[in-house]
Amino acid sequence: MPYEPPTHTVERSLRATTGAKIVAGVDEVGRGAWAGPVTVCAAVTGLRRPPAGLTDSKLITPKRRAELAPVLESWVTAYGIGDASPQEIDDLGMTAALRLAAVRALEALPVRPDAVILDGKHDYLGSPWQVRTVIKGDQSCVAVAAASVIAKVRRDAMMAELGAQKAEYADFAFEANAGYPSPVHRAALEERGPTAHHRLSWSYLDALPRWQHLKKVRFSAEAAALESGGQLGFDF
């Protein structure tokens, strides 16, 4: 299906209305996975013409993503990657874990951005960052689209490497599903139980009577306060 290429419209708006000189696009991957981290990329692109074919990573084939990611890494002005581990997701909840990963990505940039374009409708980043949320920003905004591709390829590679590290992980097929639910992944969980890289506070364990005793109860008092403040909506 044809799609409109992303533009710098939101970035230009932020520059004009807020005086921001450095604008970062931020996107995440791994929010709905059962295993592995949530990974966030922050990308600064300026106003240059992007590489051909850039759009939301979910609309690009794995082969094309793998080809495009190194091109983007060289093309962007700067980018940073941040992860929040499965243990941090269990301890903090997804909203706070996303914030943690995003801050790590933004702080990995060589220069602090004046404004951030955040994909989606929920500002999980908050103060002191100046944030503009954009629904489907990974399709419409150049910097967010670049961040989405870099984050996706980085996390997929991380999960494939994890799956190859230990023979007991082979049954989970992380190289194919990147930790997301799939028939193979579900069957491996039923038979072998969760690994050290699974999120143990999530409801998929409710359907696994043999392994329910491993489920963690969230959260810390600080994370619970954050969740009750209206930032809920990311957990599975």
Cα distances from 126 to residues 32, 62, 122, in angstroms, run: 22, 32, 10
Answer for the pair 195, 35: CB distance below 8 angstroms, yes or no: yes
Residue-wise pLDDT tens digits, 159-195: 999 888 888 899 999 999 999 999 999 999 999 999 9
Residue-wise pLDDT tens digits, 83-96: 999 999 999 999 99
- pLDDT tier, 51 (very low <50, low <70, confident <90, very high otherwise): very high
Residue-wise pLDDT tens digits, 62-119: 999 999 999 999 999 999 999 999 999 999 999 999 999 999 999 999 999 999 999 9
Q: What is the pLDDT of residue 232?
A: 38
In this structure, are strands 78-84 and 38-44 parallel, antiparallel, or unpaired? antiparallel
Percent of the chain with pLDDT over 70: 91
In this structure, are strands 115-119 and 23-29 parallel, antiparallel, or unpaired? parallel
Q: What is the pLDDT of residue 166?
A: 81
Residue 92, token pair as written in the block: 């903090």
Q: What is the pLDDT of residue 75?
A: 96
Residue-wise pLDDT tens digits, 209-219: 999 999 998 65
